[in-house]
Every structure is written in structure tokens, then in C-alpha cells.
Amino acid sequence: MLLTGRIPRHVGIIMDGNGRWAEVRGLPRIEGHRRGAERSKEIIEVSVELGIKALTLYAFSIENWQRPSSEVMTLMKLLEFYLNKELDRLIKKDVVFKAIGEIWKLPEHIQVIIREAEGKTASNKGMRLVIAISYSGRNEILRAVKKMLYSGIRPEELTEEAFNSYLDTAGLPAPDLIIRTSGEMRISNFLLWQGAYSELYFTDTLWPDFTEDEFLLAIQDYQRRERRFGAISVRADAP
């Protein structure tokens, strides 16, 4: 893999288009999710190799609970299958695993697997792999506000940095780059607070077709961006 220039520290991905991928092939939507999950596995591996410090994958939004229960069950089974199957590999690759969102709403046995994966990778030092499940940005912000109020923080102590520490993503850098596949140009409740200055990359490619090469194209595109954070010019590929 040949890629020079600045690597984004934190990449967020809205993995969209699994259903359409399957529908155009006359396959059941769940087959699209299966292929999508395989693609997630590949992109996680590439991210580790590239030296990305944090990768956040949007796997299941709070709104996704409204899908037919058979599809929800399939997505849960896929998560269970991959976490069980890939845990040893994540440990070997020094990855730190974390799930964000309303995890307590997931089936009990999946919560157990998630806690196990978090526990067994907690002392690792490599890439942080964050899976957003039963997650939505506004919900995360509201939960953070509630935690903050219960903590008894005084209004004058409240800074952006302090607020960050109440979010599910506490301790993670803000995403430098957010990718969305499948041609939709929306953020769809993903990392709303954290993504304030993220570079956005949209591609028509459906998630099951989002190969390593497509991922590298997204990163190269990011490297050509000027990041100004509302101030003076900083190119993303500046040293």
C-alpha cells in the first residue's frame, strides 16, 4: 500500500447502501449487510496498517430500530458473529475496542460480548475501534447534558473540553474525516458535536463495494483539503 502525506487521526464512516447493493442484485437485504460486514472487517485492517489512531463505524442508529425485526435481528447476529470471530485478531492487532450509543438497549447477550471485547482490549495501545450501535448524535448530546447536570458541574466550569468528557467519545480526538457511502449527502445524526470541523467525503459507491482502493482515494482527497478551522489556511497534508 503506497500512501504518503498526512494520515487522518480519526476517521468516521457512515456505512450506507447495503440494502440497495442487495436489491439491485435481486438478493435479500440481509445479504447486503453480510457483505457490508465483510467490508467493515477489511477497512478495519487497512486502517490499522495505515496508522489511523481511531476509526468510528456507524453500524446501527437509534432510528434503525424501526426497521423490520427480522432485519434488526440479522444486524445484531452479524455484530455478535464478528465480535466473537474477530476478537482474538483485534487483540493481536493491539486494537482498543469500544461501543458507543445506548448499549443497554441491545439484547443482553450482545451487551455481554461487547463488554468482554472492551475489557479484553482495554490495555491495548493501538488503534481505537469505535462501533456506534443504537447510537444517534442528538441522543448522545442529551445523555451527556443529563450526566453533566447530575455531576453538579457549575455553569462557569463548563467549557467545550469539559463537555467532551461527558460524551460517549470522551478521550477520542474529533474526527478529521467523515466518509459516507452510497451517494446520500447527509450526516444522519452521526457524531454531531464531534464532527463540527470534520472534512466530509461522499461517494456513490455502496458500502459492500467500498474497497481498500476506494478508502485510499478518500484519504488522498482529504490530504488535498485545506483545513482552516475558521482561521488561517492549513492544508491537511501540511507537515
State the catalytic residues.
16, 64
CB 41 within 8 A of CB 211: no
Q: Retrieve residue 238's grid coordinates.
A: 501540511
Point out which residues bind ligand FPP (CB under 6 A).
Answer: 15-20, 33, 36-37, 40, 57, 59, 64, 75, 78-79, 82, 131, 182
**Rounded least distance, CB 107 to ligand FPP, Å:** 15
Q: How many residues does the chain have?
A: 239
**Rounded least distance, CB 146 to ligand FPP, Å:** 27
**Rounded least distance, CB 15 to ligand FPP, Å:** 5
Which one, 75 or 177, has the nearer CB to ligand FPP? Answer: 75
Residues whose CB is less than 8 angstroms from the CB of residue 202 and which lie 6 or more positions away in sequence, other chains included? 179, 180, 183, 184, 185
205: which DSSP letter? S
Which one, 35 or 198, has the nearer CB to ligand FPP? Answer: 35
CA torsion through residues 39, 40, 46, 52, sign: positive
Q: Which residue is nearest to ligand FPP (CB)?
A: 19
Which alpha helices (H) appear in the chain, and where do they start and end? Answer: 18-23, 29-50, 69-92, 108-121, 137-151, 160-164, 212-223
Which one, 71 or 237, has the nearer CB to ligand FPP? Answer: 71
**Rounded least distance, CB 125 to ligand FPP, Å:** 22
Measure the CA–CA gap between 103 and 114, rounded to whole angstroms.
9
Which one, 79 or 172, has the nearer CB to ligand FPP? Answer: 79
